[in-house]
Amino acid sequence: MTTAIHQLARIVQAVALAEQPADQVNLVVESISNTMAVDVCSLYLANESSEMMLLASRGLAVGAVRHVKIPPGKGLVGLVAKSRHPVNLADAESHPAYFYIAETEEERFHSFCGVPLVHTGKVIGVLVVQGREIRQFSEEEQGFLVTLAAHLALLLANSPLALGEVADKSSRVSGVGGAAGIGIGHARLCDHGELYAVANAPCGDPSAALRDWHDLLGMVRRELEYEQKLLAGGVSDGVAAIFSAYMLLLSDPAFLGHVEKGILDGNWLPGALRQAIQHFAELFKAMDDPYLQARHEDIHHLGNKLYNAWRGIRPAANSANRSVVLVGAQVSVSEIASVPTGMLEGIICLDGSSMSHTAVLANALGVPAVMGTGPIRNLAEDMLLIVDGNNAQVMLDPGAAVLAEYRKLADDQRYLISRLEALRDLPAHTPDGAQLELYTNTGMLADISPGLANGAQGVGLYRTEIPFMIRNSFPTEEEQVGVYAQVLAAYAGKPVHMRTLDIGGDKTLPYFPVENEENPALGWRGIRFTLDNSQLLMTQVRAMVRASSGLDNLRILLPMVSSTSEIEDFRELLMDAVAQLQSEGHRVNRPALGVMVEVPAAISQIPFWADKIDFLSIGSNDLSQYLLALDRNNPRVAGRYDHVHPAVLLEIHRILQLAAEHRIPVSLCGEMASDPVAVALLMGLGLRTMSMSATKIPRIKWLIRSLPITTAQQLATESLKCMYPADIRLRVEAELLAVGLGDIIKPGSNARRRRT
What Cα–Cα distance (Å) separates residue 52 from each residue in 105, 325, 509? 17, 38, 54
Q: Rounded distance, CA 648 to CA 625, Å?
A: 9
Q: Rounded distance, CA 688 to CA 666, Å?
A: 8
Stretch 575-600: mean pLDDT: 95
What is the phi-psi region of residue 114: left when phi exceeds 0, alpha when psi lies from -120 to 50, beta otherwise?
beta
pLDDT above 80 for 164: no
Q: Is residue 115 classed as helix, strand or coil in its secondary structure?
A: strand
- Mean pLDDT for all residues in the chain: 83
Exposure string over 225-242, b if 16+ CB within 10 A, otherwise e: eebbebbbeebeebbbbb
Q: Residues 510, 473: contact at Cβ < 8 Å?
A: no
Domain extent listing, the chain: 4-169, 172-400
Residue 447 — pLDDT band, cuts 50, 70, 90? low
Stretch 612-620: mean pLDDT: 96
Q: Rounded distance, CA 478 to CA 472, Å?
A: 16
Q: What share of the chain is helix, strand, coil (3-state, %, to 5)?
A: 50, 15, 35
Stretch 714-740: mean pLDDT: 92
- Planar angle of CA 302, 303, 304, nearest 5 degrees: 90
pLDDT at 235: 46
Q: What is the DSSP letter of 73?
A: T
Nearest in space to 135 (alpha carbons), one of 11, 26, 3, 37: 37
Residue 60 — pLDDT band, cuts 50, 70, 90? very high
Q: Looking at the DSSP assignment, which residues form a beta bridge with residue 53?
A: 45, 69
Residue 467 — pLDDT band, cuts 50, 70, 90? confident
pLDDT above 50 for 750: no
84 vs 191, higher pLDDT? 84
Q: Residues 601, 623: contact at Cβ < 8 Å?
A: no
Ranked by mean pLDDT, the top range of 53-67, 277-291, 322-336 is: 53-67
Domain 4-169 has CATH 2.40.50.140: no
Stretch 724-748: mean pLDDT: 83
Q: Residues 401, 679: contact at Cβ < 8 Å?
A: no
pLDDT at 650: 97
Q: Is residue 289 classed as helix, strand or coil in its secondary structure?
A: coil
pLDDT at 506: 54
pLDDT 10s digits, 374-428 = 878 778 888 899 999 888 889 998 888 788 878 888 877 777 777 777 788 899 9
Instruction: End-to-end CA distance of the chain: give it in Å, rounded.
Output: 61
pLDDT at 167: 38
pLDDT 10s digits, 296-318 = 777 877 888 888 788 776 655 55
pLDDT at 238: 40
Residue 634 — pLDDT band, cuts 50, 70, 90? low
pLDDT above 90 for 563: yes
162 vs 573, higher pLDDT? 573
What Cα–Cα distance (Å) separates residue 431 from each residue in 339, 561, 677, 706, 709? 42, 37, 18, 6, 8
pLDDT above 80 for 17: no
Q: Rounded distance, CA 78 to CA 218, Å?
A: 69
Residue 507 — pLDDT band, cuts 50, 70, 90? low
Catalytic residues: 357, 669
Q: Is residue 123 classed as helix, strand or coil in its secondary structure?
A: strand
Domain 172-400 has CATH 3.50.30.10: yes
Lowest mean pLDDT among 219-228, 341-350, 451-460: 219-228
Q: Rounded distance, CA 68 to CA 47, Å?
A: 12
pLDDT above 80 for 79: yes
pLDDT at 695: 76
Q: Rounded distance, CA 325 to CA 339, Å?
A: 10
pLDDT 10s digits, 102-133 = 889 888 999 999 999 988 778 989 999 999 99
Q: Is residue 549 classed as helix, strand or coil in its secondary structure?
A: coil
Ranked by mean pLDDT, the top range of 29-33, 85-89, 255-259, 516-520 is: 85-89
pLDDT at 520: 62
CB-based burial label for 383 (10 Å; 0-12, 13-18, 19+): middle
pLDDT above 70 for 165: no
